[in-house]
Amino acid sequence: MTIQEICRIAPVLPVLVVRDVRSAGQLARALVAGGLRALEVTLRTPDALDAIRAMIDAAPDAVVGAGTLLGPADVRAAKAAGATFGVSPGATDAILDAAEDVGLPMLPGVATPTEAMKAAERGLETLKFFPAEANGGAAALSAWAAPLQRLRFCPTGGVTPRNAPDYLALPNVLCVGGSWVAPADAVAAGDWARIEALSREAAALRRD
């Protein structure tokens, strides 16, 4: 799948921090049951790579990616764990070269038009706008749409159920990324019904 196809799967890409691999399978199943199939597991915990493997086993319909990729070693580890795609807060040449080498579709992060143009020069036209709210939010991304016509975005960072519709109404937004669909307390408590309900509400957000 291309990164654009992955970003079109659902209006929200859950950003997941998995502290205990034993919760990974049920977390993925709850999110998929609610309607969110594309999942980003951040490499911020010791269990993250095992969580990716566990989610792939437990939820065959999920499209599991690895986030917080900070360098080539993370890219290779994500690919080896079976991730379908990678997400990074930035767009360094080292990380993009490594992703090309191993054949991992990447959603790299950009925060300025120059960064977006540099990514586009490499043929990457679907990008993460990060951190979205701190960089001007939907108003900023709206202003990018006219000059950067070919580019499409997944704004992430500070996106909530309240402001997600503003982003999803923009012509250059394919989906938004956010952690709110899997609150840490709900994951820790094994409250899969709550996570499924949050997923269902997020999946129902409209893309214009």
Binding site for ligand 3PG (CB under 6 A): 15, 156-159, 177-179
Catalytic residue flag (residue 79): no
**Strand bridging mode 85-87 / 106-107:** parallel
Q: Decide if 34 contacts 11 (C-beta within 8 A).
A: no
The distance in angstroms from the start CA to the end CA of the chain is 23
CB of 39 to ligand 3PG, least distance (A): 13
- Please name the residues in contact with 129: beta carbons below 8 A apart, sequence gap of 6 or more: 109, 110, 111, 135, 140, 141, 153, 154, 155, 156
Q: Which is nearer to ligand 3PG, 149 or 197 (CB)?
A: 197
Catalytic residue flag (residue 115): no
CB of 57 to ligand 3PG, least distance (A): 25
Q: Which is nearer to ligand 3PG, 54 or 159 (CB)?
A: 159
Catalytic residue among 40, 79, 133, 196: 40
Catalytic residue among 79, 128, 133, 196: 128
> Which residue, 125, 62, 118, is CA-closest to 92?
118
Q: Which is nearer to ligand 3PG, 30 or 159 (CB)?
A: 159
CB of 158 to ligand 3PG, least distance (A): 5
- Catalytically active residues are 40, 128
